[in-house]
Amino acid sequence: MKKYVITIVAALLIFGIFIFAVEGKDLINNQKKISQVTTTSQDEDVVSVKEVQSSSSDSETIASVPLDFGELVVDAKLKKEDIEKREECGLSVDGINAAYKECSNLYGFTSLSDDLKQLYLELYIIFTNKTSDVVVCSVSEMDLAKVYKVVMADHPEIFYIDGFEYVKYSTGNVITKIEVSPALTMSEDEIAKASEYIKQYVDVFKSGINLTSSTDYDKVKYTYGFIIVNTEYLETSDQGQNILSVIVNQQSVCQGYAKTFQYLLSQIGVDSFLVTGYTKKDNVPHAWNIVKMDGEWYYIDCTWGDSNLSGENASLSDIDYSFFGVTTDEILRTHVPDNTTTMPVCTATKDNYYYKEGAYFDSLDGPKLKGLFNSAYATGQSSVTVKCANSSVYNLMLGELIDGNKIFDYLESGTSNMSYYVNEDLYIITFIF
């Protein structure tokens, strides 16, 4: 984005959230530090891997059993105590069916092939029950690593795990079973305390919107603004990779923004999913979301909506909506998703912010543009932002309005100067007057 002006905006924090955020800092500072150990895996989510050579002579295979979405299939060779531990943890037919009801409509779960869905549900049960040393159905390390990422991308409420550990049992070179443990970062008491902070935050969040009369677009726009206004981007933030950084400390990085955005949307009935990858320009790891509004998927980058905010200087009217409701074509100009999950092809534009707010131009429509400026003046705003449908309209606007000085036809009489900045990737122009 080329900028031709620097705007300093005013700060806003919701008072109630600020109070319990201060009280919650000790919670973050007291969390356990997980020591990294030498592993046989290159996956950063794997805290440790142990290998055990074993005999399969005293093990057995669980027979296939019908589930609500297929059959329960366990490839692992289990001992009697393994079977008992699975049952105690909730990896029973009833437990897996219950987890299926909770997860069946989540994007990540539905995107998996059928043969990986049972592993997803087993990991979900293990993580939510915080149970260690449980043998899972799969004997594939690759599947385990992939499905772990999908589970965590679907479930921002699992904030107390930072990776996982596993023990693989082999007979010769053949893996016979894998025993999984979540890498917990908090005690049960700390998790309970954090959950109470989250509840308070959600209550404050919900109090600001009428869910009965709000459309999907209204809900998503409100949530987007709520997070940005109440959060400072800080690379050194505590717990920046989960929702506690935003909810407890109001300081986070991209994954904290994206997971909190996803979590809050889930609390008001809007489907979304965490997308991870990197920025195209700088090759920096990044996280954003896909969000379903009115039956269509859109990309939204909540962090980049905060890109012009600086510490205490934030105001709801100065949020950047450039990446609110963009298409696949548009997001790929600046973002590169990883290949963990297949993303939908997003083509809809009706809930794009600029389209919805009447600031989307497929031609240089003079009366429409004049109306935007008149509205800005009437409401005391000092800027107008427009999005152009393509490069031709974008170049025409810049040529006519800036190079040809016709922008002054839209400004109040007597105005002798103005400034502007552009987002060349998305064909967006902001005029400041």
What integer pLDDT is reported at residue 229 of this predicted model? 92
Q: What span, in angstroms and rounded, lies between the C-alpha atoms of 218 and 209? A: 9
CATH 1.10.10 fits 15-22+189-357, yes or no: no
**pLDDT for position 237:** 75
Q: Residue 235's pLDDT is what?
A: 84
Task: Determine the pLDDT at residue 67.
Answer: 86
The answer to whether the beta carbons of residues 432 and 10 sit under 8 Å apart is no
pLDDT of residue 69: 87
Residue ranges of domains in the chain: 15-22+189-357, 45-185
CA–CA gap between residue 335 and residue 326 (Å, rounded): 12
Closest CA to 4 of 429, 419, 430, 394: 419
Condensed to tens digits (0 to 9), the pLDDT of residues 17-45 reads: 333 333 443 443 333 333 222 234 445 67
What is the rounded CA–CA span in Å between residue 100 and residue 105? 9
Q: What pLDDT is attached to residue 50?
A: 79
> In percent, how much of the chain has pLDDT > 90?
74
Task: Supply the pLDDT for residue 266.
Answer: 98
Cα torsion 140, 118, 179, 276 to 10°: value is 70
- For the chain, 433 residues long, give each residue's pLDDT as a single digit of tens: 443 332 222 223 333 333 333 344 344 333 333 322 223 444 567 667 778 877 655 666 666 788 888 888 999 999 999 999 999 999 999 999 999 999 999 999 999 999 999 999 999 999 999 999 999 999 999 999 999 999 999 999 999 999 999 999 998 889 999 999 999 999 999 999 999 999 999 999 999 999 999 999 999 999 999 999 999 888 887 765 899 999 999 999 999 999 999 999 999 999 999 999 999 999 999 999 999 999 999 999 999 998 654 333 344 356 999 999 999 999 999 999 998 899 999 999 999 999 999 999 999 999 999 999 999 999 999 899 999 999 999 999 999 999 999 999 999 988 888 899 999 999 999 999 9
Instruction: Give pLDDT, residue 68.
Output: 87
Q: What is the pLDDT of residue 4?
A: 33
Q: What is the pLDDT of residues 159-185, one digit of tens each?
A: 999 999 999 999 888 999 999 999 999
**Closest to 172 measured CA to CA, from 261, 86, 57, 54:** 54
For residue 238, the model assigns a pLDDT of 72
- Contact (CB, 8 A) for 333 and 426: yes
CB atoms within 10 A of CB 120: 23
pLDDT at 422: 94
